Amino acid sequence: MPEPVGFFTDSSVCIGCKACEVACKEWNQLEGNTPSWGDGFDNTKQLDAENWRHVKFIDNVPQGEMLTGNGAAWLMMSDVCKHCKNAACMEVCPTDAIVRTEYDTVYIQPSVCNGCRDCISACPFGVIGFSAKTGAAQKCTLCYDRLQANMQPACAKVCPTQSIQFGTLSDLHAKADARLATLHAQGNDKAQLYGRDDSIYGGLNSFFLLMDKPEVYGLPNKENAVLPSRNNFKSYLAAFVAAAIGVFAGVKALSGPSPSSGESTGGTA
């Protein structure tokens, strides 16, 4: 089996060029217009069935304040499917259309997907969309076809600043740790790795270096990164107890009152 692979996206060097978006669309033959600057900076808006990469533009200047000195006006991050270790989409899929590949990535098999959209509701990152054209759910495959041909994913290949890095997770973790240490040494105290450890859905095969808190980027933090109730032990246990009480009450109601309740059981004294 190959070593697990993934993406390390370093948001500190993203320049918002959207080359990753264009390369992803072209290689995967996704519908929709090529991003246009005339639509505004964040013209893709979100990840969905036809947008598997989305460069986020986040205003980094507090409202009512002006940019001064060398402060950055924008935080930018190329968002993508996280290929979670504990993938909620896999857990809820009723047809087993969502599988983990030999590269340890999460892949939706279009021929097995029945279009129920359960995975769309379950995904905590909102990366999955439904394609009317294929009748199936769609998201980043981490260029599974390119991996099988010993090629790197299209987005990583075209990224001009190496903000998107592809490789084995062991190599990417080492690179990410070194980059974080460099940023901290330079005084970037807010810089942090997201999904590098197992605190976010068991770890992410596509993890990030962020320059602020996860919430700023619209990402769940460690406290609210909770799997659906069917995968959450406390919620599952509570549901089981509630169901057991319901069954017991139903059986008792069907059995009727007992002779000792004081009600007549028929016949004469």
* Stated pTM of the model: 0.79
Contacts 24+ apart (CB under 8 A), 74-77: 74/16, 74/41, 75/11, 75/211, 75/212, 75/216, 75/217, 76/11, 76/14, 76/15, 76/16, 77/9, 77/11, 77/14, 77/208, 77/210, 77/217
Domain ranges of the chain: 5-62+69-217, 229-256
Let me know: does 171 contact 36? Beta carbons within 8 Å.
Answer: no
Q: Are 128 and 119 in contact (CB under 8 A)?
A: yes
Average pLDDT of the residues in 89-116: 97
Output the furthest CA–CA distance in the chain (Å, rounded): 100
The confidence score (pLDDT) of residue 91 equals 92
Mean pLDDT for the chain overall: 84
User: Do residues 115 and 93 lie in contact, with contact meaning Cβ atoms separated by under 8 Å?
Assistant: no
Write out pLDDT tens, residues 140-196.
999 999 999 999 999 999 999 999 999 999 999 999 999 999 999 999 999 999 999
What distance in Å separates the CA atoms of residue 4 and residue 225, rounded to the nearest whole number? Answer: 23
Per DSSP bridges, beta strands 164-168 and 74-79 are: unpaired
User: Which residue(s) pair with 85 in the sheet?
Assistant: none
Question: Between β-strands 206-210 and 74-79, what pairing exists: parallel, antiparallel or unpaired?
Answer: unpaired
Interior angle at CA 20, CA 164 and CA 147, nearest 5: 70
121 — phi, psi (to 5°)? -70, -35
Rg (CA), the chain: 25
The per-residue pLDDT for 37 is: 54
Dihedral, CA of residue 36, residue 77, residue 203 and residue 179, to nearest 10 = 140
pLDDT for 36 equals 55
Q: What DSSP element (H or E) covers 59?
A: strand 54-59
Count of CB atoms situated within 10 Å of the CB of 102? 13
218, two tokens = 């619209």
**Distance from C-alpha of 245 to C-alpha of 30, rounded to nearest angstrom:** 50
106 versus 74: the higher-pLDDT residue is: 106
Fold of 5-62+69-217: Alpha-Beta Plaits (3.30.70)
Q: What is the pLDDT of residues 210-268, one digit of tens each?
A: 999 999 999 998 877 777 655 454 444 444 455 566 555 555 555 555 444 444 444 44
